[in-house]
Structure 1
Amino acid sequence: MTGAAAGIRFDQVTVAYGEQVVLDRLDLSVEPGEVMALLGPSGSGKTTALRAVAGFVRPASGRVHLGGRDVTGLPPHRRGIGMVVQQYALFPHLRVEENVAFGLRARKVPKAETRERVTEALTQVGMEAYARRHPRELSGGQQQRVAIARALAIRPSVLLLDEPLSALDAQLRSGMLAELARLHRELPEVSILYVTHDQVEALTLADRIAVMDRARLQDCGTPEELYRRPRTEFTASFVGNANLLPVRVGVREGTVDLAGHTLSVATGGAARGSAATLCLRPHLVGLGEGPNALRGTLADLQWRGSIHRLRVDVDGRAVLADLRELRDPPALGSPVTLHFAAEDAVLLAAAAPVAVAAPGGAGV
């Protein structure tokens, strides 16, 4: 999606520190009202992209647009954005209501309107009863809500969230995800750029996910597209769990060879005899005889509450299967047979190395 009306648009944005390129020619748009998750490992460039929108880093080349306006040269305080960072960044000496009012006072909003907006923002995040407390009197989840309220109080058209839940425990994180989803529904015109390395957060919250690695955008699509039909090995491995099995495209149409097993899968336009990778989600693998049978030895068995995870050695290749209601699991070291449906597998081109260009240069 592109266009002048986009809430956020990266136009071939490159950021470099000396000779080191940390964001390489990012071309990406976030539409009004859309939640775009930037998902990737540490050092992938996702936080740099967010900082370029905020105005904390200046691109070596390319332009940043907000609402169709070129803001590349504008300082952060003139961009009209709200931002929530990992460690909340609340002022410890100020009460909750004063923290939330900080951005409004910096913009010289009249006192009566400031009070109204602070109350509104705290109500949005369910923290109106805590207005007179100091940050030290709040839990981590409550502090995060205050940080979000402070960002919302200025009524931004763009909200930037940088790993906002990473400091919370699992239960609080789940609750805050639900709160963020609710806020998204209540703020339909606000574009949200959400930086995370957590797959669950991205899959739960985002309308689209931009997958980043080694300073470059690797893939972009809806959570369902990237999960069900990933286009690269990196996307398959980073958006959900995946078996990535090296195969060779068969001579017979619609078949591949995996360690001597002939499997029926859609091969598309893959050249016969070429190397490829078979992507298969563990929860789509069944136990016992069936189509596309894989026979091997049970190498590991883990009980994970709702599932058992089996790791089966198939002629030296590990295949994972996530099975529900496995009442009588096989013994370690015993022979087992796995199977999967042809339509549940995706054939990927073998991974190619990604080169990062110098500013203004071309990749190799």
Structure 2
Amino acid sequence: MTDHHISDRRPSDGPTAGRSGIRFDRVSVAYGGNTVLDSLDLTVEPGEVMALLGPSGSGKTTALRAVAGFVKPAAGRVFIGERDVTDLPPHRRGIGMVVQQYALFPHMRVEDNVAFGMKAQKVTKSEIPARVAEALELTGMTAYAKRYPRELSGGQQQRVAIARALAIRPGVLLLDEPLSALDAQLRSGMLAELARLHRDLPDVSLLYVTHDQVEALTLADRIAVMDKARLQDVGTPQDLYRRPRTEFTASFVGNANLLPVTVGSGSVSFGQAELKVPTQDVAAGVTATLCVRPHLVGLGDGPNALTGEVAEVQWRGATHRLYVDVDGHRVKADLRELRQPPALGERVTVHFAPEDAVLLAAGVSAGDPAQVPARVAAGVRKDG
């Protein structure tokens, strides 16, 4: 493991992240000599939704399991609120957890599934019915209390799983790919339900593991981007989408055109084109990557015009996506539905505004503390 790592720790951080927050203090996890989570420094504030976003094998689920107590860190400490919980068993950590397989007991009715965690916590028998009713009301499942899981849809089963997690009144709720088993329509509805649920429970911290960028952008106050067992970047969805720090962040948080350019003074060269973009953060003469989101690319003449051949046209209902080959590179443009889209092989011009481009300096690698921007070091939240 290397000492170079990204951290979002505040200078004033002490041994507590607040009543219901989470803090990873240089947490590493290894299996059989292979490091699967490398020196994670990350704070989830009380009441915050933090999404861990990354591809399979990036370390995001391992981080969640370290909070839950299902894996033991090889190094570092895990804090929940004011407590160092690294050595505590899962049932003593005061967390709720929801996984993608629902994990409901098929022989129990909905109300008994929801009550199960409270019985394990030895909540008094007289208190359980009211808390079951409260959790079912929060998740919109009151009418289904007497049903068995087999009598519910996938989305309804996931709501029961969430109700069970909430019934124990956790300060921290862990969600591990909770919507991945649902179809697209159900997933969209559950996203809205989770957003509403968090508005109803503003003091509960959510750590949400996903590989789906839409889920992360929709729900999270901040997103921690993971890859190869490391924290690559962290910031608000708006920051990471509009001003990504690395090519990996640009390509994984949203879709991006990433074009190799040579930096000049106030402009960059891409093939035969001279493009006007902000260059103040990158030295002249170096090679860099220009990032432009496809929905910010227009068709026709305009600033920063690029001309090439149409390689592919995709109709997506309300939009068309054009793939245009320009100087050996494919430029993507997402446009409002075109009445007469261009033909394959047709020469077209696309353009983008200077302020819509982000220049990514070559050699900025995740884990280099000298390259961590102020917004990461400060851990800025969506609400400022």
Q: Is 1:337 paired with 2:349?
A: yes
Q: C-alpha distance in 2, partners of 1:328/1:320?
A: 18
- TM-score for both structures, normalised by structure 2: 0.90
Aligned to 2:173: 159
CA-CA distance at 1:329 after TM superposition: 1.2
The alpha-carbon distance between structure 1 residues 30 and 227, as it changes in their structure 2 partners (threshold 3 A), is same
Q: C-alpha distance in 2, partners of 1:146/1:245?
A: 46
Q: Is 1:70 paired with 2:87?
A: no
Counterpart pick for 2:164 among 147, 150, 155: 150
Q: C-alpha distance in 2, partners of 1:235/1:331?
A: 33
- Count of residues in correspondence between the two structures: 354
The alpha-carbon distance between structure 1 residues 312 and 350, as it changes in their structure 2 partners (threshold 3 A), is same
Q: Is 1:210 paired with 2:209?
A: no
Q: Contact 2:232 / 2:366 at 8 angstroms: preserved in 1?
A: no
CA-CA distance at 1:350 after TM superposition: 2.4
Q: Contact 1:232 / 1:351 at 8 angstroms: preserved in 2?
A: no
Q: Contact 2:232 / 2:367 at 8 angstroms: preserved in 1?
A: no
Aligned to 2:332: 320
Please tell me the root mean square deviation across aligned C-alpha atoms, in Å.
1.3
Task: Report the residue type matching 1:85 in the other structure.
Answer: V
Q: C-alpha distance in 2, partners of 1:322/1:269?
A: 28
Q: C-alpha distance in 2, partners of 1:99/1:231?
A: 44
The correspondence of residues 1-364 of structure 1 with structure 2, limited to 5 A, is 2=10, 3=13, 4-6=16-18, 7-250=21-264, 253-350=265-362
Q: C-alpha distance in 1, partners of 2:145/2:97?
A: 20
Give per-residue Cα distances to partners, 1:16-35, cap 9 Å, x unaligned. 01210000000000000000
CA-CA distance at 1:354 after TM superposition: 6.4
Q: Contact 1:99 / 1:150 at 8 angstroms: preserved in 2?
A: yes
Q: Identify unmatched segments of 5+ residues in structure 1.
A: 357-364
Q: C-alpha distance in 2, partners of 1:267/1:75?
A: 51
- TM-score for both structures, normalised by structure 1: 0.95
CA-CA distance at 1:5 after TM superposition: 3.1
CA-CA distance at 1:234 after TM superposition: 0.5
The alpha-carbon distance between structure 1 residues 160 and 267, as it changes in their structure 2 partners (threshold 3 A), is same
CA-CA distance at 1:220 after TM superposition: 0.4
Q: Identify unmatched segments of 5+ residues in structure 2.
A: 1-8, 369-384
CA-CA distance at 1:280 after TM superposition: 0.3
Q: C-alpha distance in 2, partners of 1:5/1:199?
A: 26
CA-CA distance at 1:112 after TM superposition: 1.7
SS of equivalent to 2:268: strand
